[in-house]
């Protein structure tokens, strides 16, 4: 019985989870919070849901763009280049983004008589994004459970595995990762130089996947 709602961005990780746990997912939800790359990600999220026959909705959270501070909300030129190990990548943190999205998703799940909210955070996210860490997931799940009649919980199965591990799952599932979006700059094609592009390249290479993503020269 399908009892889960998936927070689906349209990136590698959440699209993999969509296919990995399709038998459990009753609804997928994307959030348009005004990031540089929302317009690139969300169409992929919608397309994959259509392929699988899973209902998909997009919820606007534009107030985050209007009131929060992050280079992810400030245009392509604001996105630093380099790896996630670089100090300047902290500028891409959108304050409490996952907390806000999971709260909305929990309310939506309870409204649809669902029991779980799924998210595709992974181990590589932990160092830079506080709302991707295991401690956050555990405590947020407890708060959502306590705050809902249905005792809804967060299901985050990729929390302690790497992006390359996720890519390996996708490879086994036959996924075409060119039908996902990663680049934080949100240009016509992936820039190939921001941290999320570099992470994407490394994960696909480690998983032995031929990377057919189109990158800037």
Whether the pLDDT of residue 41 is over 80: the answer is yes
Q: Per the annotation, does 16 bind a ligand?
A: yes
Residue (of 175, 179, 176, 182) closest to 202 by Cα position? 182
| Average pLDDT, integer, range 93-105 | 97
pLDDT at position 85 over 90: no
CATH, domain range 4-206: 3.40.50.620
The answer to whether the annotation marks 194 as part of a ligand binding site is: yes
Q: Is the pLDDT of residue 36 over 70?
A: yes
Residue 108 marked ligand-binding: no
Is 49 annotated as a binding-site member? no
Query: Could you give the percent of the chain with pLDDT greater than 70?
Result: 98
Q: Does 198 show up as a binding residue in the annotation?
A: no
Query: How sure is the predictor about 217, in pLDDT bands with cuts at 50, 70 and 90?
Result: confident
User: Which three-class secondary structure string do you get for 37-93?
Assistant: CHHHHHHHHHHHHHHHCCCEEEEECCHHHHHCCCHHHCCHHHCCECCCCCHHHHHHC
Query: Domain map of the chain by residue range?
Result: 4-206
Annotated binding-site residue? 10: yes
For 85-90, what is the mean pLDDT?
A: 74
**Pair 13, 122: CB distance under 8 Å:** yes
Residue 197 counted as an annotated binding residue: yes
| pLDDT value, residue 86 | 64
């Amino acid at each position: 019985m399908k009892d889960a709602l998936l927070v689906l961005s349209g990136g590698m990780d959440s699209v993999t989870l969509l296919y990995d746990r399709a038998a459990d997912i009753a609804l997928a939800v994307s959030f348009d919070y005004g990031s540089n790359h929302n317009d690139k990600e969300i169409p992929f999220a919608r397309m994959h849901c259509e392929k699988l026959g899973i209902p998909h909705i997009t919820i606007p959270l534009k107030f985050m763009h209007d009131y929060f501070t992050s280079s992810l909300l400030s245009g392509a030129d604001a996105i630093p280049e380099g790896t996630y190990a670089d100090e300047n990548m902290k500028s891409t943190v959108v304050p409490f983004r996952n907390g806000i999205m999971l709260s909305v998703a929990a309310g939506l799940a309870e409204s649809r008589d669902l029991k779980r909210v799924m998210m595709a955070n992974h181990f590589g996210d932990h160092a830079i994004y506080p709302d991707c860490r295991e401690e956050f997931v555990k405590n947020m799940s407890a708060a959502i459970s306590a705050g809902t009649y249905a005792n809804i919980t967060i299901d985050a199965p990729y929390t302690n595995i790497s992006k390359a591990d996720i890519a390996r799952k996708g490879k086994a599932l036959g996924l075409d990762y060119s039908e996902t979006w990663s680049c934080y700059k949100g240009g016509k094609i992936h820039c190939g130089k921001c941290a999320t592009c570099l992470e994407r390249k490394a994960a696909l290479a480690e998983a032995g996947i031929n990377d057919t993503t189109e990158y800037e020269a």
